[in-house]
Amino acid sequence: MRTIYLFLLFFILSFSTYCQNIINVNNTASASSTDLGTLQEAITAAVDGDVIYLSPSPTSYGAATIDKQVTIFGPGYLVANNPDLEISTYTGRGIIDNVTINAAGSGTYISGCDLNYVVIDGSSNLYIARNRMRFRMYLKNTSNIVIEGNYFDYTTNTTGSSTDGNWMHLSANTNNSNLIIRNNIFYAYAFYSGSCFSQSYNKYLDNIYIGSTSNAIVEHNIFRDRCHFNNSIVRNNIFLMTDQYSSCADNPIAFNASTTVLKNNILVKNQSGLDASNMVGVTSPIFEGYPTQGTRSFDDRFVLIASSPANGAGVDGVDCGVFDGPAPYKLSGVPIIPVIYELTGPSQGTSASGIDINVKVRSNN
């Protein structure tokens, strides 16, 4: 008997109409079936509608400019930390350095990758789901962008100035419409050690900044640092900011009260000016593994405990946080493609009896 762990790429119905080719990318020495070795090579070779598959690797697939409508699937991130996924036989990731998606890349889908710095400039109809974000995502002049189920985990200490925009974790400052930001874990925070003045902190060091010329629905996220909202509907989120993370912040949320609606959020710190649907100053335990992680994984730690005040506290009785709502968070960012995680069978068979094979498949929907 033998067990084989495989990733199979199947077409999701919504992509099948457009898909033309599959491009396999692998930069490991042991690669047995590979078309190309870097993401940029794959983008250059692709045509609109192609699917690019990044094999697990400890080495980055480099930087890229996405100027075509493509689908990019990586294998997820830190999967060995979540053994219940049953795909922990590989330790590599689909690591990508700085990525720019321009207008010609509209319609692109990226999932299961380990990303450093993403700039989305002039694009529309993007779906950025189940990725690890190490540093920053910056949006300008975009529309219809879904940012869903990602894990933002970068932490920095900075003595920057009021014009330093390098520490924002998700910035949608200029002319972004119809953004959906949901079911993400913003574990990142910035500790600002210089003088605390509002322009610098509010605009450049928050977990998320939705500018005055942008609008968004922000729901079912977990935020460890402060957030700033304009023209937004903000609901069913959990805000964990306390003074220990950000010496410049006075409140977990900065918002334009005339253009932003905040409903059914959980805040660890007290904040005035919010309606009664929001819970503030919550001191009782919320999660299975936060702030003390124990044996929980880096993202499984945010599962709600049975007595959590976030249970049923969302709009229409849903749970606040990332594991409920329209797109529940998936551990380790395993992409939305079926996975054969176990295949067993005899080492040989006969022409009369054939070979009996047992296959276990996880849908990862």
Return the CA Rg of the chain: 21
* C-alpha distances in Å from residue 52, one per residue of 23, 36, 159, 196, 234: 5, 10, 39, 44, 34
Q: What is the pLDDT, as a whole number, of residue 14?
A: 38
How do 358-362 and 155-158 pair as beta strands?
Answer: unpaired
Q: Which residue has the tokens 């925070």?
A: 189
Give 37's DSSP letter: S
- Phi, psi of 52, deg, nearest 5: -110, 125
The 3-state DSSP composition of the chain as helix, strand, coil percent (nearest 5) reads 10, 35, 55
Q: Which CATH architecture has domain 13-362?
A: 3 Solenoid (2.160)
Which residue type sits at 254? A
N-to-C CA span, the chain: 30
Give pLDDT, residue 124: 98
Structure tokens at 196: 């605390």
Position 5 scores a pLDDT of 32
319, 311 contact by CB (below 8 A):
yes
Task: For residue 350, give the DSSP letter.
Answer: B
**Residue entry with tokens 């094979």:** 357
pLDDT at 7: 36
What pLDDT, on the 0 to 100 scale, is given for residue 87? 67
Cα dihedral 121, 127, 133, 138, rounded to 10, equals 20
What is the domain partition of the chain in residue ranges? Answer: 13-362
pLDDT attached to residue 203 = 53
Q: In the prediction, which pLDDT does 93 show?
A: 79
Return the H-helix or E-strand segment holding 177: strand 170-182
**pLDDT at residue 6 in the model:** 37
Predicted confidence pLDDT, tens digits, the chain (365 residues): 233 233 333 333 334 444 479 999 999 876 556 678 999 999 999 999 999 999 989 899 999 999 999 999 999 998 888 888 766 556 667 889 999 999 999 999 999 999 998 999 999 999 999 999 988 899 999 999 999 999 998 755 444 443 333 455 899 989 999 999 999 999 977 665 555 545 444 455 688 999 999 999 999 999 998 899 999 999 999 999 886 555 565 789 989 999 999 999 999 999 999 999 999 999 999 999 999 999 999 999 999 999 999 999 999 999 999 999 999 999 999 887 776 667 777 777 777 777 888 877 767 77
Q: Max CA-CA distance within the chain?
A: 80
Q: Is 333 helix (H, G, I), strand (E, B) or coil?
A: helix
Q: Do 35 and 22 meet the contact criterion of CB atoms below 8 Å apart?
A: no
H-helix or E-strand spanning residue 14: helix 13-16
Q: How many CB atoms lie within 10 A of CB 161?
A: 12
